[in-house]
Structure 1
Amino acid sequence: MDKDNNQLFQKFVAFSAAVHQITNDITKDVKSEALTPLQYKILEYIAVSQPVTLSEISECMQMSMPNTSRELKKLGEKGLCARVADPEDRRRQGITLSPAGGAMMNEAFARISVRFEQRIQAVTPEERKEIERALDLLQQKVFY
């Protein structure tokens, strides 16, 4: 790896670590007491990516398929997610939030949004646009 790419990589590693820390800070105490942190993370993933498959959740959460299935069963029993048949392949099932799960996540995201706004309150309108462009670029070129 050449020097420029190594510096970029080091910045990426530091950025990734900071993203995890900030995510923990702004999502602290937003989950329902009835959920484990893992169950909340699964619901969060479903909320932003639905419909998702069991294997997609398993891969994203770095869990075995049986453990993922067990956690989804618990979330289903709590009425927070549902399985839906793929209209193109009835054997495939997608997992979505139920209305109750959607309401729970909307409430959590509203609280997270307030914390996010507090973090960026000193950002100028020009800096907001620059941050948005940077996030778009990261999404298109790195996190695709």
Structure 2
Amino acid sequence: MAKQTMSRSPDDPVNARLGEVLEAFMNRVAHPRGRALAFLTQSSVTVDQAILMHHALTRPGSTPTSLAATMNLSLPSISQMLERLARLGMLRRIEDPADRRRKTIAVTPKARRFLRELQAVRSQEFSAGAAALSPAAQQRLVAALERALTELDADPSGGEPR
């Protein structure tokens, strides 16, 4: 018999507590050093722009409209970010040969390099923030997070409440 995963509503007390604990943990291990934010500032890229590039990278063929829907932002906001990232050489707009009005967004090698470097900076930041945990607590945390990521990867809803 297959194991069935029950999705919890955001209003569920256990899910709400999980959200509170994750938020507190992330604040403790990430933000105090500010290395990731400094990296973004030095690169002249905002957090929203980095998220936009990540979505464009992981969803090839994205359009401005699909990115706006994914990020829950207005199309004018996305268009402004795309323009700025194109000027920085991070993204390209590609015209659809069948419909010249339709544009898809492509991530450039410069953006791929930027996202790899940002990931490395963030990973180092998280590792440094969690270094005060005992080795046993670190092992348990890694195991729990790996299990959670496996479940999220298997979730066809993409993590959205059912």
TM-score under structure 1 normalisation? 0.70
Return the match for 1:133 from 134, 138, 147: 147
Cα pair distance change 1:18/1:38, threshold 3 Å: farther
> Secondary structure in 2 aligned to 1:143?
coil
1:19, distance to aligned residue in structure 2 (A): 4.8
Amino acid of the structure 1 residue aligned with 2:14: K
Q: Hey, what does 1:101 align to over in structure 2?
A: 111
Aligned with 1:9 (options 5, 9, 12):
12
Task: Tell me which of the two structures has the higher relative contact order, counting C-alpha pairs closer than 8 angstroms and 6 or more residues apart.
Answer: 2
Q: For residue 89 of structure 2, what is the aligned residue in structure 1?
A: 79
Q: Give the gaps of 5 or more residues in structure 1.
A: none
Which 4+ stretches in 1 moved above 6 angstroms? none
Task: Tell me the CA shift for residue 131 of structure 1.
Answer: 2.3
Q: % of aligned pairs identical?
A: 18
Kindly name which structure, 1 or 2, has the bigger radius of gyration based on alpha carbons: 2
Tell me which of 29, 33, 49 is aligned to 1:39.
Answer: 49
Q: CA deviation at 1:59?
A: 1.6
Tell me which protein shows more strand as a share of its residues: 1
The number of aligned residues is: 137
- Cα deviation for residue 82 of structure 1 reads 1.4
Separation in structure 2 between the aligned mates of residue 7 and residue 45 of structure 1, nearest angstrom: 24
Kindly state the Cα deviation for residue 105 of structure 1 after the two structures are TM-superposed. Answer: 1.2
8 A Cα contact 1:84 1:94, kept in partner: yes
Is the deviation greater in 31-40 or in 102-111?
A: 31-40
Which structure carries more helix by proportion?
Answer: 1
RMSD of equivalent CA atoms? 3.3
